[in-house]
Amino acid sequence: MDDLGMATGTQDKSWTIGRIVTAAVAILAVLGLAWLLVSLSDFVLLVFAAVVLACIFDAMAQGIGRLTGLKSRGLKLTIAVIVLLLVFIGTFALFGAQFAQEFETITASIPPALQQVEGLLQRLGYGGTLTSLLDQGTQDLSSVASRIGTYALAVGSGLTDFVLVFFAAIFIAADPGLHRRGLVLLMPRKAEKPARDFLDDCGNGLRGWMLGQAVSSVLVGTLTWAGLALLGVPAAGGLGLIAGLLDVIPLVGPVLAGIPAVLLAFTVSPMTALWSVGLFLVIQQLQGNVLQPMIQKRAVDVPPAVLLFAVFGAGVLFGGLGVLLAAPLTIVLFLFVQRIYVRDILRKPITVAGQEKPDESGAGD
């Protein structure tokens, strides 16, 4: 009996040690994976950017198939890529010289505009702290100009990354099912169906976001261009292009686009600057109350506070590329929380993106 008790105790002790070792290995594996993702964050973001661009190509190919009746995916994808390239090349061919000249005007006009703002603040009796901030901003601009060579190298590296992302997106869009099956095969068998559903949600959400965002950017850029031109603000076309591009950044983008526009409006008159502020407020209201709900209806209804924190968080963690990809990253993470955590793990009925009523199929299984 004593031998049997000792054997049982030894087995229990071995089982406990085995569980501790297994848990320790699992924790180390998770920490190692997290460290690897942080270390390769730039690479991971480039892969994600390629996936987002592949979704654009896929959506364009589907639209071309509906319009033309073509069945060959390769042919539809080729037409989509050519059309996108022709749009960019045609835009720069028609307006490239004009935009370049207007950007030079913007760069040359900002220092005098800062001086005019400083003089106005001094006349109003608010020149102390605000003037020092403007002086600091002028010094920062001078510092940026002195490091233009370093930034040129960064731009060159960014162009290389863009070329890699562009061709990677073509390969992914050529056979998305292959990459989808590869991801699903990495999951445990019980997780294969949730993984497929999550990938479907991501595809629908990203395609809807990109379609709505394209419409929003074009309208914001056009309205900004037209409004500033009517007010007589210099380089209205370049400022409209900046506003359209920065519209991709949720909530923060319109504010960033308004700063150079208002500064250049000061070179005309303080009243023009006030009218420019009013113009951006009207466009912001249109974007927030009309365009943004349209995007969320087609994509994922992410709360504005979540989007705002996502922009700042992505900027802190990943820099400028993270800010540009903040919206699609937030959509994917939001869908992950909805589909995987709330619906499949917590077993709660929720409305997942694209569904018109709560999805209760996972509840009570």
Compute the average pLDDT of residues 202-207: 83
Whether residue 143 is predicted with pLDDT greater than 60 in this model: the reply is: no
Compute the average pLDDT of residues 115-121: 66
* DSSP-based helix, strand, coil % in the chain, nearest 5: 85, 0, 15
Q: In whole angstroms, give the CA distance from residue 317 to residue 34.
A: 13
Task: Compute the mean pLDDT over every residue in the chain, rounded to the nearest whole number.
Answer: 75
Q: Which pair of structure tokens corresponds to residue 189?
A: 């068998």
158 pLDDT band, cuts 50/70/90, is: low
pLDDT of 61-93, one tens digit each?
888 888 888 888 888 888 988 888 887 787 777
Choose the most confident range, by mean pLDDT, from 11-15, 103-107, 343-347: 343-347
- Lowest-confidence region among 26-30, 145-149, 321-325, 352-356: 145-149
CB atoms inside a 10 Å sphere around CB 362: 19
Q: Which pair of structure tokens corresponds to residue 6?
A: 């000792």
Whether residue 105 is predicted with pLDDT greater than 80 in this model: the reply is: no
Whether residue 184 is predicted with pLDDT greater than 80 in this model: the reply is: yes
Q: How far is CA 307 from CA 37, 187, 249, in A?
A: 22, 29, 9
Q: Which residue has the higher pLDDT, 145 or 139?
A: 139
CB contact at 8 A, 183 and 332: no
pLDDT of 275-310, one tens digit each?
888 888 888 888 777 777 666 665 666 777 777 788
pTM, to two decimals: 0.68
pLDDT at 362: 44
Q: Which pair of structure tokens corresponds to residue 187?
A: 């999951």
